[in-house]
Structure 1
């Protein structure tokens, strides 16, 4: 196992635990129809990954926190940072396609997954 894989694995473990812990605590404390815990996780993850990308602290830190922790904590943060990069590069067509495909296909696939899962209940 290389050090890079180990950094990603450790970060992923911690990110998954953080997401689970925060979601469980927040949802018990503030129950609501709107998935506010997930929204807060995704928004905080967007900020933190942007902060990490902007700070450029090096490959090891990015693998541990960016790829590992944020990858498990949320993927929405990665999505937003990639969109900002497309904006900065003035890749308007790619930005439009990426945003539209992410939301439309994401919703369609989530619906399809729910539908398939419901047929498997038995």
Structure 2
């Protein structure tokens, strides 16, 4: 049953990642990877929220945490885009992108955990 939850979450997360990335990139004429940055921050927040929700069941965590967030976020694309910025002669952008991605992802995950703990412990 857990595998089914992961598959359903991934089936929603993967298209959400693609559509969000494309929509965000269309708003920017810049080559900076705003789409990947956005989905990674959102995914970090959602995963933190689920993790902070200490009453969540294995099924909920498999569906949302592993399935949805696993398909929504992408470390490989983050790595590729960082290297691509370096190859294009934009080392400051590459370092800025990497630093922003890590800091914002950690901040979003921390905020999600804090909110999850507050909401689920209050219930």
Judge same fold: TM > 0.5, yes or no: yes
TM range (shorter): 0.5 to 0.7
Partner of 2:30: 32
TM-score, structure 2 normalization: 0.57
The alignment status of 1:65 with 2:44, answered yes or no, reads: no
Higher Rg of the two aligned structures: 1
> Quick one: distance in 1 between partners of 2:8 and 2:18?
16
Partner of 1:82: none
Q: Which segments of 5 or more consecutive residues in structure 1 lack a partner in the other structure?
A: 77-105, 112-122
> Quick one: distance in 2 between partners of 1:34 and 1:75?
16
- What is the total number of aligned residue pairs between the two structures? 79
TM-score, structure 1 normalization: 0.58
Deviation at 1:31, TM superposition (A): 2.8
1:52 to 45, 50, 53: 50
Q: Which segments of 5 or more consecutive residues in structure 2 lack a partner in the other structure?
A: 85-123
Structure 1 outlier segments of 4+, above 4 Å: none
Deviation at 1:30, TM superposition (A): 2.1
- Coordinate RMSD, CA, aligned: 2.2
